[in-house]
Structure 1
Amino acid sequence: MILNFFKTKCISILFISFSSMSFSSSSVLADSCRHVFVRPAIVFETPSLILRQLNQSEAHLVESLKDQPGFALFSSIRSSSRNDQERFVSAFTMTSTIGSAGGINTFKSGVPLGLGVFDKATGEFAGVFRLRLIVEEERVSLSRMIVPKFRNRGFASELDAPAMNFVRSTFGITKFSRYALVENVPSNRNIQEKSPFEFVETLGEGLGDAVNRYDYDLP
């Protein structure tokens, strides 16, 4: 009888110890999962889209756009060197807080800010959006690339107003520019018909990929 008593006690102790270990392991696993799957905060959104910075693990989303027409204009990469390519991608995965003093100073020094664009309905990656301050003009250039699957839905035009409001409230800048390849007739037509931007000039005529510049200043 005494032997059975000790057996029961030992089994109970072992069970409690095992349960505690399992709970501890589960907690570590949960903490690990929370760390892995944390997403950067939303920077701004539109009725259909969410815009946020990307994690380092999501850099491949930007890389996937490199072979698409118009990427050179969007990226403004001056060379095909590895350093320039990495610098461009890093603009989308910066870890500094955008609205902090450091983040504001970084942007105002001319370092571009890149954001991933995600479809609200599905959560799918829909493209990228890039803001770059033209320091000497105190004007922000707005660029976007929408992946083929999400084109012709009005997403590109939907980004303008929320983006400009975000820039004004965060950085205090109210002047903006957009660019479109002269040969890209649909893009030029959309800017002219569906946005407040007005044509300013054509750049690079006779030098290959000429672009039209459109400006707009918030009232």
Structure 2
Amino acid sequence: MVRTIYIFILCYFLLGGLGFHFINRKKDKAVAQKSWTKFFTYFVIINVLFFSIVIDPRVFRIVSAIILAVGALELIMLYAKRSLIATPIFIGSIIVFTVLAFGFWKFSGAEKEVLLYTFIILSIFDAFSQISGQLWGKRKIAPQISPNKTVGGTVGGALFALLSTFFLKQLLSYTIWETIFLTSGIIVFAFAGDLAASFYKRKFNTKDYSQLIPGHGGFLDRFDSLIAGGAWVALYLAF
């Protein structure tokens, strides 16, 4: 089963790579190189998270703790770097992050199958939102907060994620409708988490939280949707 899922992920990456080829062939060389750097870095991240779950979910829990710790530090450092402006925004963001972090930490202790399912759905939604957005995205959703988010990109990513439900549902002991509901919540929370992280950055007039991850920026730039989506799954499991 694990081998089948990994082949499934590789097939999606090949499809994504094909999409990036069409996207980058008309771009400036430097821009295209940055885009490919982001793509291959993401491939490394996906493998690290996948095998941390497969080898031993306790390893994923350690990785989750690192993500949360660095993410919290990035929030604080950005606030301090910008001379402690927008204090109400900072306090509100810390409260929201703490709630989501608690949910994500609870999620990190879930069964291996739940972790794998959530991780794959989030990865598909995130990756294909970017690819669909660059290929077909025209209407922007929130240009002042997240200029790269488009209706076409979000719909494309959501459709790929929901269609993947039918290939991955055997990981979970839920009905197809329960699985679709779970997946829909993951998509909504992931989107909202990404938008909230972008909102915080805009309030502090910065593009990235840090430069820790090549092509992506900081941990919150890369894992904001994972934290929020994981928090939703923890809420779903609790009720």
Q: What TM-score do the two structures reach when normalised by structure 2? A: 0.27
The structure richer in strand per residue is 1
Tell me which protein shows more helix as a share of its residues: 2
Relative to the length of structure 1, the TM-score reads 0.28
Highest RCO, 1 vs 2 (Cα 8 Å, sep ≥ 6): 2
Which structure is larger by alpha-carbon Rg, 1 or 2?
A: 1
